[in-house]
Amino acid sequence: MFCSLYTQYQWSIQKIKNCSGNSSEELQKAKFTKQSAKEEKPTSITEDEIKAKIDDYNSKVTENGMKLSSDGTYTGFIKVYLKLRRPVTVFSVDGNSDNRTSFYLPSDAVKQLHISSTTMVREVIQGLLKKFMVQDNPRKFALYRLTRRDNLFQKLPLSECPLYLRLLAGPDLENLSFVLKENETGEVEWHAFSVPELQNFLIILEKEEKERMRQVEQRYAAYREKLLRALGQGSRHD
């Protein structure tokens, strides 16, 4: 099992090296999977039903309620939890756009956004990245809906309107939570990363590789010491 994991790990490193060796122009020309613009949307509800649902929603919260406008649109707040496994890229503290660094966001990061009923998932993702000053391509990320009772994640289409889903589900986070995660497509799309990002990943992977090798060497050194000790005790008995 360890060998298969290590082989996959080495394959990922080689994949990054191959991509980082490409020119920036080639990376820009890489093809990405595009979602259809005609994505299925929930069945719309009438203005009277929207007003009734907003009144019901506001009766269940003490703050950050929804507000209905005269044109039939409405505004409100959603909370988005960030569950990112890979590091993100930001500009350095000196503000120099040429100096970028990668780091891991806290696993418990959460952001509250004030949006309208017309705000789509793609805009939510862009807004979150802007608030955290993340420079990565928005296509690397996806917004998921989480049903906590069942612990089920469902990827939301880019044209979906999160506040509409929040209104239908009500304010209870057990019924619906929003989570920002990596855009899982079965395989990491390395071509979506810039050359500096790939180089940063290489540095991180090489550090992890050295640490893994150190742990393995330490483990086998301990086994060797035990074997030599056992052999020494056996020879004394002879």
Q: How does residue 128 score in pLDDT terms, banded at 50, 70 and 90?
A: very high
Question: 41-185 sits in which CATH class?
Answer: alpha beta
Region for 52 from its dihedrals, namely left if φ exceeds 0, alpha if ψ lies in -120 to 50, beta otherwise: alpha
At 11-24, the pLDDT tens digits run 555 555 555 555 44
| Least reliable range by pLDDT among 55-59, 188-192, 214-218 | 188-192
Hey, what are 185's tokens?
């497509």
* pLDDT for residue 93 is more than 90: no
Can you list the alpha helix ranges (DSSP code H) found in 70-180?
A: 121-131, 162-169
Asked if residue 138 lies in contact with residue 125, where contact means CB atoms within 8 angstroms, the answer is: yes
* pLDDT for residue 70 is more than 70: yes
- Mean pLDDT for the stretch of residues 71-76: 94
Instruction: Please state, in angstroms and rounded to a whole number, the distance separating the CA atoms of residues 230 and 224.
Output: 10
Region for 133 from its dihedrals, namely left if φ exceeds 0, alpha if ψ lies in -120 to 50, beta otherwise: left
> Which residues is 88 bridged to in the sheet?
103
How much is the mean pLDDT over the chain?
A: 79
At 172-209, the pLDDT tens digits run 998 999 999 998 765 566 666 777 778 887 888 888 88
Identify which has the larger pLDDT, 170 or 37.
170
CA angle (50 as vertex; 49, 51 as ends), nearest 5: 90
Q: Pick from 35, 8, 43: which is nearest to 155 by CA?
A: 35
The pLDDT value recorded for residue 126 is 94
DSSP state letter for 71: T
